[in-house]
Amino acid sequence: MLRLTAVLMFAAAGSGAATAPREIDISQFAFKPQEITVAAGTEVTWVNRDQTIHSVIAQGGGFSSRGLDTGDRFTMVFEHGGDFIYICSLHPFMKGVVHVRESIGKAP
Amino acid sequence: MAKVTRRDALTCVGAWSGAAIVWGVAGGIPRALGLANEAATAQAAKGQFTFVQISDTHVGFHKEANLDVVGTLRRAIGDINGLAGRPAFAVHTGDITHLSKPEEFDLAAQVLGELELDRIHYVPGEHDTLDNGLHGFLARYGADSQQRGYYSFDDHGVHFVALVNVLDFKTGSLTSLGDEQLRWLRQDLSGLSASTPIVVLAHIPMWTVYEPWGWGTADAAQALQHLRRFGSVTVLNGHIHQVMQKIEGNISFHTAMSTAYPQPAPGTADAPGPLTVAAQDLGRVLGTRRVVRVPGRHALATIDTPITRQ
């Protein structure tokens, strides 16, 4: 099984937030869940459950997977806050968003 | 010659019995030149300039919809090698590979090398750009275009334009050619006489077949503006793995069958993707196209032939 990992590096120091890994299924030509909100530093993994190839490509080019065959995974660690919109380049009607918040889970 | 309606044509397709349908287009009206058996097809093409179109070979695909894409490709190649009247060359309208892997490009080149033709002209599909953009495609086929991807060439008085419309995807919208390529196209066509027949090659349809599935090119209209002055424009696309045709003035659009697997008709399924059909029917929905320049006609004739004809 192919496992691809990429890390977005930002100037800010990593947060100390609770960062349990999250998984997004690519299923029936949709990202599920289509929208998630995570703490900075969270590892997010997309898993292709479809029989056809998909990809995960950030709008603006911040990150991109290779073509993901059935069962292939693509992992990103979001180190910095922001709203990351992405699509499948093979099926651009497929769209998802990862909201990264630096304040989530931090001690008061 | 009697005009035929789309309903008539579909009836002909439904009554398929080992024959090819030869299409001609004149005056904006599609006309079937008649059901042609192989002998008649050969006669029509005899001595004429012909070339073949192969599309969506998806070498590397191995799923229920087709567990042997190399096998079905080889059947298509066998049909082309067996044609009476040797085509001048082949064009491949993209998705050569399934995952852009180097070994897929290698295998595709090896198998397509079994075509008994002098050359194949390629355009990339989006499946050929999954690994570092056009890198893998250009490594093998970039010489035609000085490593740009898009290019043109002339053969037998026909001007061929090969375009790339698989790189510029925007969120939730259709792909596009982009301004740089549109400028190049305008420049490329500028010196040509309006009587020059034009053939445009591009992977994704150059008209909006079905927007919800991304089956169209957002800025195709800008490209077509540069093409409307010509008396004969034939646009050959792939991507949707089925034959569809559309006429706009002197411009005819044709999508092609895949040699790997079919896809659903627009809107007939929840999403596009490999369509699994009964094993005995697979060869009826895979195939290739032959394009013939018919003397005295502006438009080129197209002959779509499945790999199973009985």
For the segment B3-22, what is each residue's pLDDT rounded down to a tens digit? 444 444 433 332 333 334 44
CA B49 – CA B89 distance, rounded (Å): 10
The predicted structure's pLDDT at residue A30 = 94
Q: What is the mean pLDDT of chain B?
A: 86
CA distance B213 to chain A (A): 7
Q: Which backbone phi and psi does B117 adopt, to 5 degrees?
A: -130, 160
Q: Average pLDDT for residues A10-27, to the nearest whole number?
A: 68
- Chain A with chain B: Cβ pairs closer than 8 A: 64
Can you tell me the distance from the alpha carbon of B286 to that of B294, in angstroms, rounded to the nearest whole number?
A: 25
pLDDT on residue B29: 34
Mean pLDDT along residues B59-83: 96
pLDDT on residue A62? 86
The CA-atom distances, in angstroms, between A51 and each of A66, B86, B274 are 16, 38, 8
pLDDT tens for residues B156-213?
999 999 999 998 876 667 899 999 999 999 999 999 999 999 999 999 999 999 998 9
* pLDDT surpasses 90 at B71: yes
pLDDT at B94: 98
User: Cβ(A98)–Cβ(A63) under 8 Å?
Assistant: no
* Residue B216 sits at the chain A interface (C-beta within 8 Å): no
Place of tokens 């002339």: B154
**From A39-53, B160-174, B255-269, the region with the lowest mean pLDDT:** B160-174
Asked if pLDDT for residue B23 goes beyond 60, the answer is: no
CB-CB: which of B64, B126, B171 is closest to A90?
A: B126
Task: Determine which of B130, B132, B166, B217 to mutate to test the interface with A (most A C-beta atoms within 10 Å).
Answer: B130
Half-sphere exposure for A35 (CA within 13 Å, toward CB):
2
With contacts defined as CB-CB under 8 Å, which chain A residues touch B130? Answer: 53, 55, 66-67, 89-90
pLDDT band, very low/low/confident/very high, at A15 (cuts 50, 70, 90): very low
pLDDT one-digit tens code per residue, B26-57: 333 333 333 334 555 566 667 789 999 999 99
Rounded-to-integer distance, Cα B191 and Cα B225, Å:
15
Query: pTM higher than 0.90, yes or no?
Result: no
Question: What number is the average pLDDT over the span B248-263?
Answer: 96
- pLDDT at residue B45 in the model: 66
Residue A42 forms beta bridges with which residues?
A78
Q: Is A50 on the interface with B (CB under 8 A)?
A: yes
Per residue in B272-285, is it b (16+ CB within 10 Å) or e — as a string? bbbbeeeeeebbbb
Of the partner residues B127, B130, B173, the one whose CB lies closest to the CB of residue A92: B173
Shortest distance between the Cα of A75 and any Cα of chain B, in A, equals 16
* Range B51-73 average pLDDT: 96
